[in-house]
Every structure is written in C-alpha cells, then in structure tokens.
Amino acid sequence: MREATRLGSQGTGSNGREGPQGYRIPQDIAPYKDELGEWHPPRLSGRYKADVEKQYLMNSLPWVWSNDYYNQRLHIWDWEPRGLKRWYKKHWRKAQVDEALKRADEMIEDYRKERRQAKRLSWIETIVKEFAGNELAGPYIRQQKKPKL
C-alpha cells in the first residue's frame, strides 16, 4: 500500500496552521470510524484541507482526493444547453420524423399483416384445417400468431 504523506512539522510552521503533530493526508481528510463503529468528522478541517490542496497544486502535484479526479467535469462548451428541450431538439426531431415518413408505407403494411395474423381463424379456415389437416391446408390457410407484447 502507498505510504501516507505526512503534513506538518514539529512546532509551529510559518503560517501557524500546523500543530505539534503532522497529519496523514489520505486518512485525516476523510471521516473515520473508531473501534466502536462510530463515525467522527475528519481530523483535518475543511479550511486546512483546502490549504493543503492549494499547496499541492502550487507544487504541480495532482490532488487525487478530489471527488471528480477520475471523472473530470465537462467543459462549459460541452454542457447540455439550458432551456426547454423543444428549443434545441427541434431539428433532431424533424429529422427523425422525416426518416419515419420515408418508411411509413412499409411500417403500415407490416402493422396490418401483424394485426391480421393476430386475428382468430374464420369459420371456413377452421373447417378446412380440421378436415384437411395441417399438412394439406398449411400453404392455403394463414397461421395464427399471437402479437408481441
């Protein structure tokens, strides 16, 4: 496991923030659980944590304990536009409708076939199927199919 970074020195530092003890950076900036299972606030307060983070960034070190270090935030130009969706999705929706209209005839035909196959057999089709059987009547009588739900 990686060695914990020690922050602080013996005695008071130049800014007076470090105490007589140093801090272990990864462990002391997060809430911790004691041996009884109770949670406690971080040993290093938010103000001092921000100061340590600033020192890391000033020395060109990455602050890997930030919440969005691995999943970087989007650039402002990559954000989804604000406002009503219909304002900025109008052209996309128009293209979708045009594409659907191009294949509307075949979609209607498929729908009608599917609905016809879902109907039960007429009385003549059932009689022919009973007398002739599935093998002889198969090519001449439609097969009933249940619609997909």
Longest CA–CA span in the chain (Å) reads 105
List of E strands, 6-125: 6-7, 23-24, 32-33, 39-40
Question: Three-state DSSP class for 94?
Answer: helix
47 lies in the same domain as 12:
yes
In a domain, 42, yes or no: yes
Look up residue 19 and give its two tokens: 């105490």
| Residue 106 domain boundaries | 85-137
48 lies in the same domain as 12:
yes
In a domain, 118, yes or no: yes
pLDDT in tens, 64-111: 988 888 888 889 888 877 778 777 788 888 999 999 999 999 999 999
Question: Backbone phi, then psi, for 6, in 5-degree steps?
Answer: -95, 130
Q: How many structural domains compose the chain?
A: 2
Q: What is the pTM of this model?
A: 0.39
In a domain, 68, yes or no: no
Look up residue 123 and give its two tokens: 């009385």
